[in-house]
Amino acid sequence: MDEAMRPDGPTEVAVVEQPSDPVRADDRTAPPLIVGIGASAGGLVAYQAFFAAMPADSGMAFVLVQHLDPDHDSALADILGEATTMPVTKAVDGTVPKANTVTVIPPNAILKIENGILQIAKPVSATARRSSVDTFLVSLAQDQGENAVGIILAGYGSDGTIGIAAIKEAGGITFSEAAFDHHAKLGMPQSAADGGFVDNVLPVEAMPAALLEHIAYRGKVASPGGVPAPENPALEAQLVTICAVLHSRLGRDFGQYKNSTMLRRVRRRMQVLRIDEPSEYVEQLRQLPDEPQLLFREILIGVTRFFRDPDLFEALADSVIAELVTKGDPSLPVRVWVAGCATGEEAYSLAILFKEACLYLDSPRQVVIFATDVDDRAIAFARSGLYPDIIEADISRERLDHHFVKEGQRYRVAKHIRDLCVFSTHDLVKDPPFSKLDLVTCRNLLIYFETQLQQRVVAMFHYGLKAGGKLWLGPSETIANGTRLFKAADKRSRIYDRIDTTPVLLLPPARARAMTPDTRAIASPVSELDAEANRILAHYAPAYMIVDSQNEILRFSGSLTRYLEPMSGGASLNLSRLLHPDLRAPARTLLKRAADDGSRVQEQVPFRLDGRAELVNIIVEPMGDGSAGPRHVLLAFQDVVQSAPGRTPGPGASADDVPHGELLAAREKLQVVTEELETANEELQSSNEEFQSVNEELHSTVEELETSKEELQSINEELHTVNAELNNRADSLVRSNSDLANLFDSTSVATLFLDNDFRIRRFTPAVADVFNVQEGDEGRLITDFASRISGDALVADARVVLRDLTSIEREVDSDDGKSTFLLRIRPYRSLNNVIDGVSITLVDISERKHLDKARAHLAAIVESSEDAIISHDLDGLVTSWNHGAEKIYGYTSSEIIGQPMATLLAEAQLDEWPAYLARLRNGETLTNFDISRTTKDDRSIHLSLTISPICDDKGRIVGASAVARNIADRKAAEERAAMLMSELDHRVKNILAVVLSVVSQTLRIGSVPDPIRMDIEGRIMAIARAHNLVADQGGVASSLRELFRTELEPFVQNSNITLTGPDVSLTSNASLIVALAVHELTTNATKYGALSVAEGVLAIDWTAAADDSGSRLSIVWQEHGGPVVAAPARRGFGTKLIELSLVRGLGAKVERTFAPEGVRCQITLPLSPEVGSLLPRPGDET
């Protein structure tokens, strides 16, 4: 058919910018998958479990976004470095995520990715920091597309939900952490899963295996360059079947959605299910009951937020909303339709703008916003009006405070905003539009439709808008130039004015996807020879057209001009509006018969053309077998040749010609009736349109009823809640009564409740020990019962309490005087603060009174003591001070309490006190040590001091007590004793000198040999030195080390003598005996042993040890380097002296060995009080 013969269709075309695929097809190598992992509190354990199960050579790059403290450095990278062998680093600006690496966000940072490079910025607010996971995942989706993976692990709040939706929208794969019950974990994982954006809800340990399977699947379906193949002819061929399954299962027609959109969504479902072949997926779509719904949700993924594109919203508020609320009929509401509202953010944003525009108007117009979407789950979410706190990033604090109500970590839309919006499920493909609209918004939806559907939707918007109405599209959408329906009012903001033309509501065509095979078959190319043959045969073949199940003309062929006569009004391809009026009714009848029978039908139909009668044979035959959806129909027109006009029957004509004339008259009459029917049909069509408007109003009313129903349900839920609370209160009351009964039964405090007439209301069992009451006496007067309390002032006190509304507390004694009670009487107040009697408690304080008396007695003892008894805390501050301390030190208690104990020390003694406090804190008791202290008048006094730790009832040391006794008299006695000891020592020394002189003169006169004389004199001198040593150390004891040093000092040269052993104190008697033994050993060593030559060495070792028989002291005398030693032939006097004095005098055991290298003598003696004792500090000396 010539181009001029084509009927004019709608010229409205939505020209859209195709959403670009972030994955660059010209990349020849496959970049690594970039896995964005978001978490908050509790995420560390999940991270460790994840990387413990992830191989180090997975080929993926991991970027971790964790909510971190902005004021402290994070050790997250170091901790995760112990859980994996992959390099773990903190992100810096310009970092490129590489395969088999882990990058961690630094504290107080916002992380994004652009062109594969990480970018770091400081958060502008705390809200931006709380949505850091969303920020990174959204940028990851935009930058990587299908190469992105989003994982949400444990965390509080809803951060990550928007980012996960963006990754799913871009074709990536998403995961959420599962709890033990295989449902998403509470918090961030559940928020993402509830939005329908998560492909896999798995335990953390199972996620690495799923990711590796995903990589393996991508490797199988990828192009040779490693990049996922953008096109799949086999999958494209299956789209017809897929759309048919969705239509049959869900009643939703996606036949006119764009191929690219459908392919991407179907391919993503195949990716999630790990399916390679499209035919296999079609089988899964048919067999799995949930898969059509999942694919439906996949196709409808929409990323939206409040005030998306704020500049465009501001332009709409200034140029459109302000005009709508101030102009027009005040009695009529402003009607707005938000088509494709998703989860309601855009509808509520418009409601906020309208509410703000009406805020300062005296008589604002009512506003009704119809928000529709094909996704019933999104509509249910929008109706609830409850959004996570991440909306803080999109809405100012002022708007949040005015238009939202905070509920925990979420925001609910305020009632005055919710009342403006009416939400409803609506399918733009098949459902009629709303009418009498002032504004229609359809943002970022038309980009997913084919051109024909775009035209029909835009025509639908034109039909629903009133004259002067506005259309608002998304930033990626525009209206073609030269359109007859809309003109640009603000092209940059995508705001269009409705052109006042006759509205045409195009009925939904047959599903375009279902007709695609037939159309392709018809439009398939033929060879040049066949084309020429078809051109010649076209002159002889009947004209025909192909129509769909909605009687929309799909194709013309041949000369159809004579059979067409379009109706006035809007242009349309509908058969009923194009056919000749005489042919419309017969054609509709034949089409119906062919559709019912499924076979070819035909009929000869007369019609008038240019005033003459014509006859045409209309042939109708269905096309195809109907397996791919509704069948198309071929409608052919075959002219019928009639006899020459003007001939009338002659005289010889038969009688059959007369009925023929009657038949022609009947046909003409039928034609008149047909025209009248056509007129009636047009009127019915007009009525139908009006009914559609009424239906739309009814639809709105139903929505309002649904809203009312929701409110009633909400009220019902509140009633259920109130009922549950009442049940809880009843249960709580039962528990309280049980607790009160148990408290009464278990308490040892006598408690009595009386009413205003002093009748018993209730009492505890302990009351029976004071009053002669028993169970069942409730309601009787308390004065009817005898009591153990002396006197009868109880009722009088109760009357005073009721009169003055004050409490009385006093001690009362029992009749026998053995017990004392603390009596408390208080007003009994009901929960309504009404005085309804008195409560009486009687606490037996007899034991406390005894303790108070004992404490007072002890205090009297302390106060009367002549010793200073002082207590202080662990910081050394005085807490108590008795009279004895005042007499000794001169300070009064008011002067010294609260002052440090160092006040009592002289300057030279200040270093002592910290050491004492340290020992006290360790629980050590300091007993009977003599010290000097300073009095108030700076006198130095001598004291014997004992300091003991003070412990509380839990055994903790809380302070110390110091008892100081004045020992001035004892010190004077000790000084006198020391003077007498000095005098005695002087006399002993004089006697020893006289003895030494007498012995020496006698030995000289007696011609005694010099060696013998020298031995005798040496022994007397040894006794003298031992005496001097004992005298120097107080006359009671001496040091074993000093004894050895004194005796051996004349023979020391070049470290030839070594003394090794602990400090041992010997008594005076043991000192003299041991000194003689040491002298004899030293004498022999200087004559015959090691000390007789310069090379000789003498080592003396002594040790103290304990065994079953007690402590023992062992002394070893060992000589080396002297002359060769031989055993003596006889025992000399010195040997006998050593053995006899030690064995008999001290009970020692002496062993002498004469080895060639040197003499060895071991003396073992008991370390008894008669011999000596071991001093606390050991030491060695050379």
Catalytic residues: 40, 67, 159
Q: Are 339 and 472 in contact (CB under 8 A)?
A: no
Cα 1080 to chain center, whole Å?
Answer: 87
Residue 604: strand, helix, or coil: strand
Residue 1167 CA to residue 1110 CA, distance in Å, equals 8
Coil, strand or helix at 228: strand
Q: What angle do CA 757, 760, 761 make, to 5 degrees?
A: 100
What's the rounded Cα separation, in Å, for the pair 339 and 461? 10
Give residue 871's identity as a one-letter amino acid code.
S
Tokens (6 digits) for 1037: 């004891």
Q: How far, CA to CA in Å, does 162 sit from each of 151, 301, 339?
A: 12, 12, 21
DSSP state of 318: I
Alpha-carbon gap, residue 287 to 280, rounded angstroms: 11
Distance CA(292)–CA(419), nearest Å, equals 34
Strands of 1068-1129, DSSP E: 1097-1107, 1110-1120
Give the whole-angstrom CA distance, residue 683 versus residue 406. Answer: 55
Helices (H), 747-807: 794-804
504 contact partners, CB below 8 Å, separation of at least 6: 10, 459, 462, 463, 569, 570, 571, 572
Quote the strand ranges of 258-403, DSSP E. Answer: 334-339, 367-373, 386-388
Helix or strand or coil: residue 420?
coil
Q: What is the DSSP string of 679-737?
A: HHHHHHHHHHHHHHHHHHHHHHHHHHHHHHHHHHHHHHHHHHHHHHHHHHHHHHHHHHH
Contact (CB, 8 A) for 960 and 872: yes
DSSP state of 283: H
The H-or-E segment that residue 483 falls in is none
* Sheet strand arrangement including 760-763: 760-763, 750-754, 835-844, 820-829, 808-813
CB 678 within 8 A of CB 583: no
Q: How far is CA 544 from CA 153, 592, 635, 866, in A?
A: 64, 17, 5, 137
Say how far apart CA 926 and CA 933 lie, in whole Å.
16
Both tokens assigned to 976: 């006198």
Q: In 755-877, where do the E strands start and end?
A: 760-763, 808-813, 820-829, 835-844, 868-873
Burial of 261 (C-beta count, 10 Å sphere; 0-12/13-18/19+)? middle
The encoded tokens of residue 915 equal 């050491």
Bridge-based pairing of strands 878-881 and 926-934 is unpaired
Please tell me the distance from the alpha carbon of residue 593 to that of residue 574, in angstroms, as a whole number. Answer: 19
**Cα separation values, 771 from 171, 766, 786, 793, 1142, Å:** 85, 9, 6, 14, 84
**3-state SS track over 112-127:** EEECCEEEEECCCCHH
* Pairing mode, strands 437-442 and 334-339: parallel
Tokens describing residue 289: 């009951």
Q: At what angle do helices 233-250 and 291-299 cross, to 10 degrees?
A: 110
Query: Could you tell me if 152 and 164 are in contact, meaning their C-beta atoms sit under 8 angstroms apart?
Result: yes
Closest by CA to 782, choosing from 825, 803, 752, 802, is 752
